[in-house]
């Protein structure tokens, strides 16, 4: 039982996705040798020696090798050490969604400059509530679809992997913070959301090893449910 558990916590080969015992052997500080995968015979994780910007570029290009490195070998989403990362990621995800909603509503009410403090607090609370409920619906629908469509066992560790992979792969939402400095048209929000959706599909495919079409159906359904919830709460078409 202990042997099976330790094997489940092994890192992954970024090429084929198989588990490997170790990614490198360190002979001295700064002197390491990258190990090869027993299945594909290639270096298990060449990203270990890469700069962060190279990894980020490959993530933006949606390379599955970069996502396997980030999710399995860097963050180790299969272990019990990811609980703090999961909570922090969910909070950040909700804050960025609240900012997106606020920015969309603010552009429609530019002429309303005499908003009272109480009204401002009320609007802020409403936006946060909408973002919170929208993300609850998003996560519930996502996990339900994973269980039904992808037919995965609904174990705690398993759905935590899926949820963390999808939220971590939504990193492009951070670019919305640039709107605090520069003015962008509303179409930028749509472009960012499309990019986040495509990134979520790649991450979900890496974790579940299912087809791209089925992963697209899961992510699109969850986003559609969140969008409809936000429109209903905000009273927008």
Domain ranges in the chain are 2-74, 82-234
Residues 115, 119, 120, 123, CA torsion sign: negative
Our CA angle for 211, 216, 221, nearest 5°, is 135
Average pLDDT (67-80) is: 84
On the question of pLDDT at 81 being above 90, the answer is no
Average pLDDT (23-50) is: 86
Closest CA to 67 of 201, 195, 213, 160: 201
Query: Given this model, what pLDDT does residue 114 score?
Result: 47
Chain centre to alpha carbon of residue 89: 8
On the question of pLDDT at 30 being above 80, the answer is no
Rounded distance, CA 165 to CA 140, Å? 15
Q: What are the phi and psi torsion angles at 210 (to 5°)?
A: -100, 175
Instruction: Tell me the percentage of the chain whose pLDDT exceeds 90.
Output: 24
What are 200-232's pLDDT values in tens digits?
Answer: 999 999 988 888 888 999 999 999 999 999 888
DSSP state of 74: I
On the question of pLDDT at 4 being above 60, the answer is no
What are 135-193's pLDDT values in tens digits?
Answer: 899 989 998 888 887 666 556 667 778 888 898 899 888 888 777 777 777 788 888 89
Sequence-distant (6+) residues with CB within 8 A of 99 are 176, 177, 179
Query: Given this model, what pLDDT does residue 80 score?
Result: 57
Sequence-distant (6+) residues with CB within 8 A of 200 are 166, 169, 170, 219
């Amino acid at each position: 039982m202990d042997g099976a558990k330790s094997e489940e916590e092994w890192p992954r080969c970024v090429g084929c996705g198989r588990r490997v015992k170790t990614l490198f052997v360190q002979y001295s500080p700064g002197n390491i040798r990258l190990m090869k995968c027993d299945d594909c015979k290639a270096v298990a994780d060449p990203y270990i020696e890469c700069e962060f910007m190279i990894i980020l570029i490959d993530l933006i290009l949606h390379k599955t090798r970069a996502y396997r490195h980030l999710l399995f070998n860097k963050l180790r989403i299969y272990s019990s050490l990811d609980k703090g990362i999961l909570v922090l990621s969910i909070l950040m995800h909700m804050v960025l969604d609240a900012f997106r909603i606020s920015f969309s509503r603010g552009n429609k009410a530019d002429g309303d400059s005499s908003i009272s403090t109480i009204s401002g607090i009320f609007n802020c609370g409403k936006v946060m509530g909408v973002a919170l409920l929208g993300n609850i619906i998003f996560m519930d629908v996502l996990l339900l679809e994973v269980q039904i469509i992808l037919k995965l066992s609904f174990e705690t560790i398993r759905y935590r992997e899926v949820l963390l992979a999808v939220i971590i792969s939504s990193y492009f939402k951070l670019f919305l913070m640039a709107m605090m400095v520069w003015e962008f048209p509303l179409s930028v929000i749509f472009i960012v959301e499309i990019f986040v959706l495509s990134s979520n599909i790649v991450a979900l495919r890496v974790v579940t090893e299912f087809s791209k079409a089925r992963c697209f159906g899961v992510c699109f359904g969850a986003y559609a449910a969140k969008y409809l919830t936000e429109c209903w709460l905000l009273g927008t078409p």
